Amino acid sequence: MQNINNNNSTDSSFQWVTIYKAENTLEANIVKGLIQTAGIECKIKGEMLQGALGEIPYDQAQVSVQVYAIKERHARQILVNYQQVKQSAPDWVCPNCNEHNGSTFDFCWSCETLKND
């Protein structure tokens, strides 16, 4: 049993922690969607920098997905599942509109064409 005191405003449980460094904004949004589906509040850090890629150092352009520290363990469990799916299924290109889709999408995010294996 754990007695958590949420009245403490300096509680580190409510600091944002990075749980995933995405390759790009698209992947960051996939991860964000998975985490939010599980009812965990999350945000993307660095998304705005993507538009300026090429003008700034690469490491500053990287997109991070962040959750509250108190949710970190739960979110990481979701990511384990995501990364297993990602490894077993490659990204795919929509045959209808040629949009690039992450492996976790069953439908094209752009035109909603069903993924065709």
* Interface residues toward Zn ion, by CB under 5 A: 94, 96-97, 99, 108, 110-111, 113
The residue among 70 and 89 lying less far from Zn ion, judged by its C-beta, is: 89
Residue 38 near residue 77, CB atoms below 8 Å: no
Nearer CB in complex with Zn ion: 103/113: 113
Closest separation between CB of residue 48 and Zn ion, Å? 26
CB of 100 to Zn ion, least distance (A): 10
Nearer to Zn ion, 52 or 111 (CB): 111
Of 56 and 114, the one with the shorter C-beta distance to Zn ion is 114
Nearest distance from residue 60's CB to Zn ion, in Å? Answer: 31
Q: CB 85 → Zn ion: shortest distance, Å?
A: 20
Give 111's contacts (C-beta < 8 A, 6+ positions apart): 94, 96, 97, 99
Beta bridge partners of 92: 101
- Strand 63-68's sheet: what is its strand order? 16-22, 63-68, 42-45
Q: CA angle 13-14-18, nearest 5°?
A: 90
